[in-house]
Structure 1
Amino acid sequence: MRESANLENSAPAIPIARHMLLQTSDIDEARERVGKVFCPHRIEFVGNARKLDFHQSFASIGRLALSYVSYGAEVEIDAGVPEDWFMVHTTDRGQCGMQIGGQDVLADSRTDAVSSATTGLKMRWMNNCGQLVLKIERRALEDHLCQLLNDELRTPIEFLEGAPSESAQAYRRMLNFVVSETEHEENFYNSPMGLKNLEGTLMTLVLTGFRNNYSEALLHSAQGVAPRHVRLAEDYIRAHVDEPISISDVAAAAGVSQRTLFDGFQRFRDKTPMAFLKAIRMEAVRKELLRADAMASGVSVTSIAVNWGFTNLGRFAESYRRRYGELPSVTLRR
C-alpha cells in the first residue's frame, strides 16, 4: 500500500489498493465482477495468450465511483452501449486502443478518454496496461450540466474526439488528490458537504475539460443562458417533433428571422435548428426501438424510422450507428 498515487508515474503500484476488490487469473470471474461495477460486456484474449493477472480496486464516491483495472494480458472488450454511465479512462501505464462510437482513440499516460452513455465502447488492452476509471451516473452528469447552463438538456451529452482543454490537466490533478484521499480512513468525501463539493468539482472538470456537444454552450454560459428565441424554437420543435415542420415554421414560432435563428443555435447549441430536430427524432427512434417487440407483426426498423421522418434509410442507419455505436437493427433485437 502506498501513501499517494501519481498518475504520471509508470511504476506498477496499484492505485486505491486499500480498496482492492478482486485479484484473479480467471477471465470469466473478471468479466463477471467488472460487469457488476461497470456494465455487462464481452471479453476475449488476443492471440495465443491465455494467462490473466487481473486486479481491480474500487471506491464509491456518492453518485460517482473510482476503479482501477489491469488485466496483465492483451484482451479485447466489447462493452456495447453503457446507457447509464459515463466513464473517464485515465491510463497510468501501457496503452489501450479504444473505439468510442465512431471515434478511434489511443489512450496512454498522456491521453485520457471519455466514453459516453449513449455510444458504443470497444477496447483493446495491451499486456501492461492499467486504467483508473471514473464512473459517473448519467443522470448525475445531466443534472449537473443543467445547473451549469441554467437550462434543460435537449439532446444527450456526447463526448467528442479533440484536444482537451486546460481543465483536463486540472482534472488529472484533482484525480490524484482523490486517489490519495482513498488511502485514508478519514477522508475529504466522508462528510456530506465534502462529498457534494467533490462530486460537483469532478463533473465540472469533466464537462469543461473534455470536448463534448455542449462545450460551446458551456463556453458562453458565463455570458448568459441561450436567448429567448433559441429556447422558444427548441420548445416548438419538441412540441411538434412528430410533425413535418420546416425551418420557416420554427423561425415564425420563435419570432425571429431564419438568419437570427441559425446564428443563435450555432452560438449556443453548436448545431443548426434542423440538426437539433434530427437529434430529438433520433432519440425518439432509439427509445421506440428499445421498447418494441422485434417479433411483433408490423414492427421493423423501417416502419419506426419512417414514422419519425427518416426516409433515407441508408443515411439514417449510418447516422444512428455513429451516434449509438450499433445499427438500429441490433437495438431492435435487444
Structure 2
Amino acid sequence: MNVDERPLAGYCLAASDDPDLVRAAVGEAFCDHRLSPLSGATGLDAHFHGLHWSSAGVYYLEYGADVRIDPCDLDDFYLIQVPLAGRATITVGAESFTSTPDIASVLEPGPRVSMSWEDANRQLLLRLDRTVVQDTLRKKLGREPLAPLVFQPRMDLTTPAGRTWGGLLKLLTDAVGSAAAPDSIPVREFAGLLVSQLLLGQPNNYRDELEDRPRPIVARPIARAAELIDAHAHEPLTIDDIADAVGVGTRTLQDGFRRYYDTTPMAYLREVRLRRVRTDLLQADPTNATVTDIAIRWGFLHPGRFSVLYRSRYGESPSQTLRLERDRAARA
C-alpha cells in the first residue's frame, strides 16, 4: 500500500523495520509494552500514524509482520482497536477472541492484556482518557458512578450499534486526516459522540441503568437547555454536556426537547448553527471567505451534506448566499 493511501498519512509517528524504534513510538502514544516478532517473521514493515488532543487520540497502526504485544497496565485510558484488514488474537483477563474487520476490541484499565497481530493486520485505534469516559458516564447517570466501569472487551461491528460506532470512528479519522484542526468544533464533537455511543452501545455494567426510563420532564430545565445552546453554539457541545449543565439526565433532556420543541437537542443545535452560518455568509467578503471555512467554524464538516442541508433550509446554495452581498453591490 502506498504510504499516502494509509489513514492519517499526514501524521506519521514511525515508519520503520526496527522493532525497538516502533515499540518506543507506540509506547509513547499509549503505554510501555513488550513487542516480539513471532517465529517465522522476517522483519517489520511498520507504519504508525496519529495524533492526540486534550482527552482523546486517533491512530493507524500496522506492523507488517506477525507480532506479539504485551502491554503494561492501561491505567489511565481506554483503547478501542478496529481492524481494517487481517486478524488479531486478543486476550483480556481470562477471555480470548479473534479480532477482524467485523470484531473490534475494547481495552480498559485493569485487566491483563496480550495480543498477537498477523502480518496483514491493519487497525484504527481510538484512545480515550479515562477521565473523559468517566465524566460522560456521570453526566448520563446524573450522579457519581458507584463502581468502576467495565466493558465487554469484544465489540461486534455488525450490529446496528457497532456499525454506527465504526462509522463514526472512520468519519473522525477522515476529518483529522483531511487536516481538520483537532480543537475544531466537529472533531471535538465527533470524539464526544464516540464516547457517548460507546457507553450506550457496547455492553457494560451500567448499560441497564443507562437504558432505564428517564426522570419526569420539567419545563424549566429544558428551556434553560435551549438558552444554553443559543448562547454557546460557537463552542463544542454534546448532549451530555447540555444535560449536565441544566441538571437532568440525557434521556430526560431528549424527551423534553421532543415534547416542548418537537425536535432533538442536537437537531436544535444544528438549526441554530445553520442560522449563524447564514449570517456569516451574508456578512462575509466573498473574495476572502469560503463556504467551507465558515461551515467548519460552525461545526459542519462534510461539505456535500452541509450544502444539501443548507439548500433544504434556505432554498439556495451556501455559495449563492455568499455572493448575495457582492451582487447587490455590483447592481448599486
TM-score, with length taken from structure 1: 0.60
Match of 1:86 in 2: 78
Question: In the alignment, which of 193, 197, 205 is matched to residue 189 of structure 2?
Answer: 197
- Give unmatched runs, 5+ long, in structure 1: 3-10, 226-334
Larger RCO, structure (CA 8 Å, separation 6 or more): 1
Distance apart, 1:163 and its partner CA: 6.4
Change in Cα spacing, 1:53 to 1:86, as seen in structure 2 (3 Å) is same
Distance apart, 1:87 and its partner CA: 0.7
Task: Answer whether contact 1:162 1:211 (CA < 8 A) is retained.
Answer: no
Task: Answer whether contact 1:69 1:131 (CA < 8 A) is retained.
Answer: yes
Match of 1:19 in 2: 11
* Over 4 Å off, 4+ runs: 161-165
Please state if 1:175 is matched with 2:169. Answer: yes
**Counterparts of 1:223 and 1:101 in 2: how far apart (Å)?**
35
Task: Answer whether contact 2:104 2:155 (CA < 8 A) is retained.
Answer: no
**Counterparts of 2:35 and 2:137 in 1: how far apart (Å)?**
33
The C-alpha deviation readout for 1:269-321, integer Å capped at 9, x for no partner, is: xxxxxxxxxxxxxxxxxxxxxxxxxxxxxxxxxxxxxxxxxxxxxxxxxxxxx
Question: In the alignment, which of 213, 223, 241 is matched to residue 214 of structure 2?
Answer: 223
The C-alpha deviation readout for 1:152-205, integer Å capped at 9, x for no partner, is: 1122211115664522211111112112112323x27542x4344223211011
Question: In the alignment, which of 89, 92, 95 is matched to residue 97 of structure 1?
Answer: 89
**Counterparts of 1:70 and 1:92 in 2: how far apart (Å)?**
10
Letter in 1 for 2:50: F
TM-score, with length taken from structure 2: 0.60
Match of 1:34 in 2: 26
**Counterparts of 1:138 and 1:99 in 2: how far apart (Å)?**
21
Three-state SS of the structure 1 residue aligned to 2:103 is coil
Question: In the alignment, which of 169, 189, 207 is matched to residue 199 of structure 2?
Answer: 207
Distance apart, 1:48 and its partner CA: 3.2
| Superposition pairs of residues 1-334 of structure 1, within 5 angstroms | 13-161=5-153, 164=156, 166-185=160-179, 187=180, 189-191=182-184, 193-220=185-212, 222-224=213-215
The C-alpha deviation readout for 1:135-161, integer Å capped at 9, x for no partner, is: 000111001110011111122211115
Task: Answer whether contact 1:118 1:156 (CA < 8 A) is retained.
Answer: no
**Counterparts of 2:62 and 2:80 in 1: how far apart (Å)?**
15
Task: Answer whether contact 1:21 1:58 (CA < 8 A) is retained.
Answer: yes
Three-state SS of the structure 2 residue aligned to 1:112 is strand
% identity of equivalent residues: 23
Change in Cα spacing, 1:12 to 1:106, as seen in structure 2 (3 Å) is farther
Three-state SS of the structure 1 residue aligned to 2:148 is coil
- Give unmatched runs, 5+ long, in structure 2: 217-332
Distance apart, 1:216 and its partner CA: 1.4
Task: Answer whether contact 1:189 1:195 (CA < 8 A) is retained.
Answer: yes
**Counterparts of 1:21 and 1:161 in 2: how far apart (Å)?**
27
